[in-house]
């Protein structure tokens, strides 16, 4: 008999794409049913806000709704559906959860282990998307694209942007500091190399790729990155070590004409300290894609500053992210059915 696979997608990670990739990989070995949830048109929930969901983050759906849909399925493929300990006790047939995101923050991992449920994820699913977005964010600020756009929208022709003391700078004459050299940071470095800029990398747990080292990329201390860079861009994971790493002290060491870019995670940055640095002229500008609280409140002070560009956490949103993550999930299901070890166990 075919293995029962329940797919819970949404308007980003489309369930029909999951289904297509799983059927391509597994054929008649699976019986598939799908559900499409309302995210991102409807907001996610946080585990601390709902009784019985403690420890879960960024999930969408109710416990009863997910349990009823999964039913007797052995495999759940999902993007945001929650899975708490109490839910797992109600799903004795479940053996595999494939989460199509970099971190399974919607799953109680300890409970999954206790119930013998394998959880796999999709590391690097959006690495290329975020890396490309980061380059776009840097160019938007360094070449005054956002400033010129906003002025024209307001009916102002900023001819003064051609003044040498106002206009932007080319990356080939700048130093760019990349903090974090994982799936995304390494791709940012590769893209930056094409612009001919000096590149500094800070990550205490890696060695440089030989090609990057040969190209002149330097592995340096955190202090050197923040003090020597014209652009500082963040790409580490959030850990106790990295939480709030960009604080008042770090911003105080940056160049006064430097740009700060965060396309990683909000908790990496002390946003009150960043606001002060921007207002007091300690740094020139910032491009922010992620925030400490999402959605950002309407009255958030950083929304009002003229030297900040903001986007609503969309750096990882691309069509290729969808298809790549679905392909990773489908391969994990195939490997599970054939008795092979998972590629990306959590």
Q: What are the residue numbers of the active site? A: 265, 294, 313
| Terminal-residue alpha carbon distance, the chain | 28
Total residues belonging to the chain: 346
Output the CA–CA distances (angstroms, integers) from residue 161 to 142, 157, 177, 269, 308, in the order listed.
12, 9, 26, 30, 17
CB of 81 closer than 8 Å to CB of 14: no
Question: Which of 207, 240, 203 lies closest to 225 in space, CA to CA?
Answer: 203
CA dist 155 and 274 (Å) reads 30
Question: Which residue stretches of the chain are H helix?
Answer: 15-26, 63-70, 85-89, 109-114, 127-142, 145-153, 183-193, 210-214, 222-228, 248-253, 271-279, 319-337
CA–CA separation, 261 and 235 (whole Å): 10
């Amino acid at each position: 008999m075919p293995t029962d696979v329940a797919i819970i997608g949404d308007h980003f990670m489309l369930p029909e794409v999951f289904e297509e990739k799983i059927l391509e990989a597994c054929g008649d070995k699976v019986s598939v049913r799908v559900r499409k949830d309302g995210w991102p048109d409807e907001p996610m929930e946080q585990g601390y806000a709902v009784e019985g969901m403690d420890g879960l983050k960024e999930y969408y759906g109710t416990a009863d709704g997910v349990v009823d849909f999964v039913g007797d399925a052995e495999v759940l493929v999902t993007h945001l559906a929650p899975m708490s300990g109490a839910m797992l006790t109600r799903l004795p047939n479940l053996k595999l959860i494939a989460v199509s995101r970099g971190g399974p923050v919607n799953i109680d991992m300890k409970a999954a282990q206790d119930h013998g449920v394998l959880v796999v994820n999709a590391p690097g699913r959006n690495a290329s998307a975020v890396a490309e977005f980061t380059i776009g964010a840097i160019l938007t600020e360094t070449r005054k694209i956002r400033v010129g756009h906003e002025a024209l929208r307001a009916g102002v022709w900023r001819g003064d942007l051609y003044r040498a003391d106002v206009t932007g700078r080319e990356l080939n004459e700048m130093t760019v500091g990349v903090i974090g050299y994982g799936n995304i940071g390494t791709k940012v470095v590769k893209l930056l190399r094409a612009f001919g800029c000096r590149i500094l990398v800070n990550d205490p747990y890696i060695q440089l790729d030989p090609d990057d080292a040969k190209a002149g990329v330097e592995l340096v201390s955190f202090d050197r990155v923040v003090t020597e860079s014209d652009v500082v861009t963040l790409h580490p994971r959030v850990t106790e070590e990295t939480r709030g790493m960009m604080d008042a002290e770090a911003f105080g060491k940056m160049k006064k004409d430097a740009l700060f870019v965060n396309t990683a995670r909000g908790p990496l940055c002390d946003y009150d300290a960043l606001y002060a640095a921007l207002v007091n002229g300690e740094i020139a500008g910032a491009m922010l894609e992620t925030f400490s609280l999402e959605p950002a409140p309407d009255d958030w002070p950083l929304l009002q500053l003229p030297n900040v560009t903001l986007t609503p956490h969309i750096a990882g949103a691309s069509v290729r992210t969808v298809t790549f993550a679905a392909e990773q999930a489908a391969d994990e299901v195939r490997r599970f059915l054939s008795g092979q070890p998972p590629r990306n166990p959590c």
